[in-house]
Structure 1
């Protein structure tokens, strides 16, 4: 049986503050939510607007998680230098892998979104092509901004003595949510006109050609091809998961009937739950790479060293959920503060334990097979976090 002494408990509680720092950046994720709440009418002008929005958020988060996780581990191992110039071949291959995977992810989520849209609203070849073009263009534009920010932040945090396993992904994922949301709304708006569609098609076609060239020139590299192969397994899983998330959000949008406070906090909610998993998971994969945690735990007590990360990340998320309820209620529905707070706490208690379990299962399942956990963990965990949080949100709305 796992025993916790007073010293361990004190250390775990103090770690809440360490986790709260990067997780508090999710408060800026309310910016993405405010954009969704403000421009929900634009998104709703196309039948697939809310259906594929969570999918794009999840896939972009999965790619950001892959990049952040690999960078964090590589900085600890010394295979990437904490500097902008004269870096390693490992970094070059990783960046090219992200470019290729951005295209493949855009195609996958576009196809999956088309299938779910067809099942939900009826099949249309024109709408399917439009979905794929919008998805690829959104992913392409956001990648140009998010990847440099991710790398720059990893260098700054590492050089200043912060642990990138804890700091990097929570901040980057929030920036990505804001960037993706703004870009997606713009792409949906552009898709409503012929001129806009031409612009979207040009961006999607240009990025496809460039990415195809990157794939052709680097597929012979073992590390590049391994990253692509392993992430494709993840991508298939994630594409199905995000389809479920999109269908659920469509039901939520029907249920809340213009309750803008829910739209406003939605990106921050899924981001925070995903970040809890990333903090625990990134720390675990780095420790596995360094050999400072059991590689084949037989008992729960073998993992007691990870209790501090679990308690701190979970505790910080509870604090943030209370803040989300307060801010959203003050802006949109002051009289509903108590009800919204109870709903979000219930959502947290449902979602976080599931994601913690997922993190440990994925990490050890992939590691035991000789795969790189960083290629699987955050992409699958973040997408599952989006789905679990969205389903939990629907549940608490139905019960409330």
Structure 2
């Protein structure tokens, strides 16, 4: 009996020690997740005021979730690669251009253009398949690719700035970059799409100008892809490993949209759930991105062994995610309900929304931890770079599963209310 009591006391005493040991990691990640939540809140407000554009350009909303997810996937992977290279000394923390850094820059630029073209084609096919009114394929491609170019001009320098500055200030980029980049991606993708719509309106005034712009964009995509493949083995590796994964991610984004569309009545009649949705998806994706980046870096510099059963540092990373989840999910539930009441809309109540967010978040995190770990060790054991694979797949899966989890938990908890 005394032995059991000693074991219990020992296990309880290890938790404060664990928290103290990983205090900086938790603080860094928590601040980054708060910034992510703020960005998602602003993104929701922007989307809510895009009614005119969505009505004038039918089918435009089909491309928006995929575009937002793509920015986070591409530049989150870029940040993860930069973090790994900074940790192992392949890239100088003094922000000096080098072959490794340039390979990452041109690969990310080419991937953004290539995936934007693919996303436009998929969006148009989706509209045709489900018989939605929509703009032409050329309009989809122009809007998607022009928005990609605008986003590249913002996201590339921002990603490098955050990665290098966090590292030079003693912060671990794995804990900071992916949530902040996801938030900035969410925040700037919608204005970039709005800007591209205005540019398309100008092009529509002249058939010749519109066709010339279309041809220039297609040529730019082809040239950038060929250049990246022939530039070096590293840039070819980044592009060839990332492109298939990002193509799959685009399809997963469409699945997430289908799940939301099937429950649109539930969301529209419960405004706080509608407000919580982008917050829940964004924070969940960022939390999983932090785990993905930390596992990837740990595998690269030997802190984590690619074992079938997680142990040691892997378990520590899991516990850090649970600590962050217990704080963040109730917080975003509170923010969602509070924002709804400030706007004078009817919510589901603070107790209900906080409980929904927490339970759905813990279920999602428990499932995704094992998925992320399996993808990380599998890709590493097959000589594939986890930085190019884990974040795009895991965040896209998280987007899809988060919608299903949140709606399912809401229906169970609210019951007759819904």
Please give the range of the TM-score, normalised by the shorter of the 2 chains: 0.7 to 0.9
For the pair 1:10 / 2:19, whether they are aligned, the reply is no
Distance 1:302 1:340, change over 3 A: closer
Bigger relative CO (Cα 8 Å, ≥ 6 apart): 1
1:203-226, Cα deviation, whole Å (9 max, x unpaired): 665454334333333422111111
| Alignment equivalent of 2:126, drawn from 116, 119, 131 | 116
8 Å Cα contact 2:275-2:336 kept in structure 1? no
| Alignment equivalent of 2:235, drawn from 224, 230, 234 | 224
Deviation at 1:51, TM superposition (A): 2.4
Provide the aligned length of Structure 1 versus Structure 2: 396
Q: Residues of 2 paired with 1:357 and 1:302: CA distance?
A: 14
For the pair 1:167 / 2:176, whether they are aligned, the reply is yes
Q: Residues of 2 paired with 1:395 and 1:196: CA distance?
A: 47
Deviation at 1:374, TM superposition (A): 0.4
Q: Residues of 2 paired with 1:295 and 1:97: CA distance?
A: 27
Q: Structure 2, unaligned stretches of length 5 or more?
A: 1-7
Q: Residues of 2 paired with 1:391 and 1:44: CA distance?
A: 27
For the pair 1:360 / 2:373, whether they are aligned, the reply is yes
- Equivalence map 1:1-400=2 (5 Å): 5-13=11-19, 15=23, 16-29=26-39, 30-84=41-95, 86-122=96-132, 127-188=136-197, 195=204, 206-220=216-230, 221-253=232-264, 255-257=266-268, 261-298=272-309, 303-332=314-343, 333=345, 336-338=348-350, 339-396=352-409, 398-399=411-412, 400=414
8 Å Cα contact 1:231-1:375 kept in structure 2? yes
Q: Residues of 1 paired with 2:365 and 2:212: CA distance?
A: 41
Distance 1:12 1:202, change over 3 A: farther
8 Å Cα contact 2:32-2:179 kept in structure 1? yes
Tell me, what secondary structure is at the counterpart of 1:294?
coil
8 Å Cα contact 1:281-1:377 kept in structure 2? yes
Deviates more, 1:321-330 or 1:173-182: 321-330
RMSD of the alignment, in Å? Answer: 2.9
Deviation at 1:323, TM superposition (A): 3.8
8 Å Cα contact 2:229-2:236 kept in structure 1? yes
When normalised by structure 1's length, the TM-score is 0.88
Deviation at 1:242, TM superposition (A): 1.1
Deviation at 1:108, TM superposition (A): 1.8
Q: Structure 1, unaligned stretches of length 5 or more?
A: none
Distance 1:305 1:263, change over 3 A: closer
Deviation at 1:167, TM superposition (A): 0.6
Deviation at 1:127, TM superposition (A): 2.7
Q: Residues of 1 paired with 2:349 and 2:210: CA distance?
A: 41
8 Å Cα contact 2:167-2:173 kept in structure 1? yes
Q: Residues of 1 paired with 2:17 and 2:213: CA distance?
A: 50
Tell me, what secondary structure is at the counterpart of 1:336?
coil
Deviation at 1:197, TM superposition (A): 9.2
Residue 3 of structure 2: aligned partner: none
Deviation at 1:269, TM superposition (A): 2.1
Q: Residues of 2 paired with 1:343 and 1:158: CA distance?
A: 36
Tell me, what secondary structure is at the counterpart of 1:376?
helix
Residue 5 of structure 2: aligned partner: none
Q: Residues of 1 paired with 2:326 and 2:14: CA distance?
A: 15
Deviates more, 1:65-74 or 1:237-246: 237-246
Q: Residues of 2 paired with 1:253 and 1:49: CA distance?
A: 18
